[in-house]
Amino acid sequence: MSCHIVVHARSLPFIRRNVEFLVDELARHHGGAHLLTVEATLDEARIPAPSIVYVIGEGLPPFMRRPGLFYVYVNFSVVAFIGNPLLLSPRGARLILRKRRLMAQKLPLADVLLDYYPAQTRVLQRRLAKPVLGFLPCSKGSQEADLPMAARDFDLCFVGAISPRRQRVLEAAQAAGLRLSPHDGADLEDLTARSRLTLNLHMQASNHLEIPRIVGSLSTATPVITERSFGLAEMFGGRVGTVQEARIGALVPLAERLLADMSGLEALRAEARQAFDGYRRRASAMLAEAATEIGARARAD
């Protein structure tokens, strides 16, 4: 049975290297995979039956199911309240609810939900009647050279939309004399490959884990400093040096301390590469398990 990965064009710039990893891995497990991008709706895609269709894009509207197609909705968003509720602001809660509503529009049309966040996957498996499988987002890395820390252009990489709380931290970093990467206009991994550290900031106050940003950074041997994130130890084996957590007000001083020790940064660069290699093996194994079950369900459908 053929396999198609259909991605909303609006979502692709944020997860391009994650999608490339999915295409390569799913091609191995399904005997080939075709990547399609759509501008507005899944109905634009011309997919022959029988096929397994992996749908990516929270902004896609509901679509028309077609006979002979087995639909897997791939979720890259936080849609459940997990971790310490005291760390979640009202704005953060509203953001999660909005993303939950976007997923709910498409979920009845999917045969399987494939979720990206292990702590969340367990919650969804308990709450939804729909089959829910898990995977670990992974990155193919960057096309940029693997540069030593001293040769990198930026002290700190941040990529993402700018909210007021993010803006305050970025302004503090600039005031401290740190050189920041652009926050858009390029793939995350191409910017982290040119940066000594990656800064992970929640858009709104929460403790949820932005896995693609952290994994993308490690794929370029770039250590991460991040706000506290639920499930981090489970994802990355508690590697304290490679991914360091701090309160939002302590992130810039932490960056300054790390950047002041270039030999220490080189050690973290080596550790980040090792951490990513182990993570990539786990991601491949977990996706293989999910793809095997999806294939069996599709053939039985």
Domain boundaries, the chain: 2-139+280-300, 149-278
**The pLDDT of residue 14:** 81
| DSSP output for 233-278 | HHHHTT-TTTEEE--GGGHHHHHHHHHT-HHHHHHHHHHHHHHHHH
Averaged over 235-260, what is the pLDDT?
87
CATH architecture of residue range(s) 149-278: 3-Layer(aba) Sandwich (3.40)
Q: What is the pLDDT of residue 83?
A: 85
Long-range Cβ pairs for the range 179-183 (8 Å, 24+): 179/153, 179/154, 179/155, 180/154, 180/155, 180/156, 181/153, 181/154, 181/156, 181/157, 183/158, 183/159
Q: Which of the pair, 214 or 1, is modelled with greater confidence?
A: 214
The model's pLDDT over 271-285, given as tens digits with 9 standing for 90+, comes to 999 999 999 999 999
Query: SS3 for 205?
Result: coil
Residue with tokens 């982290």: 192
pTM above 0.75, yes or no: yes
Predicted confidence band of residue 238 (pLDDT cuts 50, 70, 90) = low
Strands (E), 110-208: 112-115, 132-134, 154-157, 195-200
pLDDT tens, position by position, 225-234 = 999 888 887 7
Average of per-residue pLDDT across 129-149: 89
Mean pLDDT, rounded, for 257-280: 94
Angle, helices 12-30 vs 211-219, to 10°: value is: 80
What percent of the chain has a predicted confidence (pLDDT) above 70?
98
Report residue 206's pLDDT band, with 50, 70 and 90 as the boundaries. Answer: confident
Cis, peptide link before residue 164, omega less than 30° from 0: no
- In the predicted structure, residue 22 carries a pLDDT above the cut 70: yes
Q: For position 299, what pLDDT does the model report?
A: 95
Specify the CATH architecture of the domain 2-139+280-300: 3-Layer(aba) Sandwich (3.40)
Is pLDDT above 70 for 249?
yes
The answer to whether 207 and 228 have CB atoms below 8 angstroms apart is yes
Q: What pLDDT is attached to residue 240?
A: 59
pLDDT of residue 239: 58
Q: In what order do the strands lie in the sheet with 51-56?
A: 34-38, 2-8, 51-56, 69-75, 112-115, 132-134
Closest CA to 74 of 6, 129, 168, 138: 6
Q: Kindly report, residue by residue over 106-128, the tens digit of the pLDDT.
A: 999 999 999 999 999 999 999 99
- Region 255-260: what's the mean pLDDT? 97
Name the residue among 301, 294, 295, 287 with its Cα closest to residue 19. Answer: 287
Pairing of strands 195-200, 224-226: parallel
Instruction: Give the pLDDT confidence score for residue 237 in this predicted structure.
Output: 64
Higher pLDDT, 160 or 150: 150
Same fold? 2-139+280-300, 149-278: yes
On the question of pLDDT at 204 being above 90, the answer is no
The contacts of residue 66 (CB under 8 Å, 6+ apart) are 47, 49
Determine the average pLDDT of the residues in 236-260: 88
**What SS3 class is residue 298?**
helix
Distances (CA, A) of 191 to 138, 195, 216, 244: 17, 6, 10, 19
Alpha-carbon torsion, ordered 156, 208, 276, 74, to 10 deg: -120
> Which pLDDT band, with edges at 50, 70 and 90, does 168 fall under?
very high
Band (141; pLDDT cuts 50, 70, 90): confident
